[in-house]
Amino acid sequence: MNKSCSNCLKNKCKKKCYKKLNVLDWLSNIKSPFGDQNNDVVEVQFKNNRKEFFISTEITSPLQGDIVSVETQSGKGYDIGTVILTGELAKLQTRNINVETLKKIYRKSTYKEIRIWKFFRNKESSTLLKAKKISNHLNLSMKICDVEYQGDGEKATFYYTAENRVDFRKLIQELAIQFHTRIEMRQIGYRQEAGKIGGIGSCGRELCCSTWLKNFQSVSTNSARYQQLSINIQKLTGQCSKLKCCLNYELDAYLDSIKDFPDFNKKIHTEKGIAQCMKIDVFKKKMWFSYIKNPNTWYGIEVKKIKKILEKNQIAPPLEELSTINTIKKTELTFKDFSI
């Protein structure tokens, strides 16, 4: 996976680079109507999908693509990241956040700081492999999926997933002795793990959680039922073994369209027998019915006709007369023994 350079963020790069969770600053040419240029809010991206907002002063005033040294959460040392968003769009995203609680940007990173930062970034892959060996040796029921060094190398954050609570006190001692730095263990969910590792989805594109999706919403099987999808867990789950986030993308459109449909559980009394709904077609505004005594033959009927029949609450004509489009006949599979 290629990462974008500083020229990409300034729209000056001629190569097709790529960066996770990149944001298009569509308000870059708009100045503040109040003339407030002090203590601007800036969004800084660190490794993978970790992004945070910071306060910049007139002394720093970083631009998109600048590498800056920022204040850490603990207040010890400094961290290094890349500025990806400035100006009014960054302020809009923090309108519900107390700006006074945000950390500050110390300065634009010096050459020495950048060299130290790159040294520890190159060291993360080997650190991850050693940490996995140590956790396996201690027989801990956890999976260490990623590690991130602080910009100055004074702290290493290990991200892990686990089903139950894990006592990793012994692990922290072993890691501190091995890597000679402060250790922080941070538990994440399986969706966050997929976002950090990345991969290719069943659609043929890179995972949404590793490219642009930042906030995760709960996904239930009802999202598939409303869209008339078969409940096949192997097809509905992603690489995180959870239901795919894309099941919610078109859900609102389906919910708005389903409002025009009558209750699916209601049955129709016809001259030929009782019929029940087997399937709906949201886009063509059709409902497929079949006789209870003959469920293998489906008849497509428009929603308008079904509404009129249910409103009158009378015996309707046979489904063959109501259906004006086509008929689906489903046959059961039979297996024959051809053994000699």
The closest alpha carbon to 87, from 24, 45, 5, 20, belongs to: 24
Identify the segments of the chain with pLDDT beneath 70: 1-39, 58-60, 324-340
E strand or H helix that includes residue 90: helix 87-93
Please give the pLDDT value at position 334. 47
- Rounded to whole angstroms, the Cα distance separating 64 from 214 reads 20
- Rounded to whole angstroms, the Cα distance separating 255 from 261 reads 10
Q: 299 with 323: CB under 8 angstroms?
A: yes
Q: Which residues is 144 bridged to in the sheet?
A: 160
Q: Which two tokens stand for residue 1?
A: 């996976």
- Rounded to whole angstroms, the Cα distance separating 297 from 331 reads 9
Please give the pLDDT value at position 171. 92
Q: Which residue has the tokens 């069943």?
A: 202
Cα-Cα-Cα-Cα dihedral sign, residues 46, 50, 53, 55: negative
Q: If you write DSSP's letter for every residue of 191-206 in order, what string do you get?
A: HHHHHHH--B-TTSSB
195 vs 1, 73, 144, 321, CA distance in Å? 13, 22, 14, 53
Q: Which residues is 158 bridged to in the sheet?
A: 147, 185
Please give the pLDDT value at position 32. 64
Q: 161 with 189: CB under 8 angstroms?
A: yes
How many H-runs (helices) and E-runs (strands) does the chain carry?
11, 13
Please give the pLDDT value at position 17. 46
Please give the pLDDT value at position 329. 62
Q: Which two tokens stand for residue 291?
A: 């006789």
Please give the pLDDT value at position 155. 92
Question: What are the structural domains, with CATH classification, of the chain?
Answer: 6-109 (no CATH), 115-192 (3.30.300), 217-258 (no CATH), 268-329 (no CATH)
Q: What is the pLDDT of residues 43-64, one digit of tens each?
A: 898 988 788 889 887 666 788 8
Residue 55 DSSP label:
E
φ/ψ (deg, to 5) at 184: -130, 125
What stretches of 183-278 show up as alpha helix (H) in DSSP? Answer: 190-197, 208-211, 221-226, 233-236, 251-258
Q: What is the pLDDT of residues 79-138, one digit of tens each?
A: 999 998 887 788 888 887 887 788 989 989 999 999 999 999 999 999 999 999 999 999
Ordered strands of the 155-161 beta sheet: 143-149, 155-161, 182-187
Please give the pLDDT value at position 22. 66
Rg (CA), the chain: 29
To the question of pTM greater than 0.85 for the whole model, the response is no
- Rounded to whole angstroms, the Cα distance separating 171 from 178 reads 10
Please give the pLDDT value at position 19. 54
- CB atoms inside a 10 Å sphere around CB 21: 17
Q: Which residues of 103-121 are buried (b: 16+ CB within 10 A; e: fewer)?
A: bebbebbeeebeebbeebe
Q: 156 with 182: CB under 8 angstroms?
A: yes
Q: 22 with 84: CB under 8 angstroms?
A: yes
Q: If you write DSSP's letter for every residue of 134-181 in order, what string do you get?
A: HHHHTT-S-EEEEEEE-TTSSEEEEEEE-SS----HHHHHHHHHHH-S
- Rounded to whole angstroms, the Cα distance separating 246 from 252 reads 12
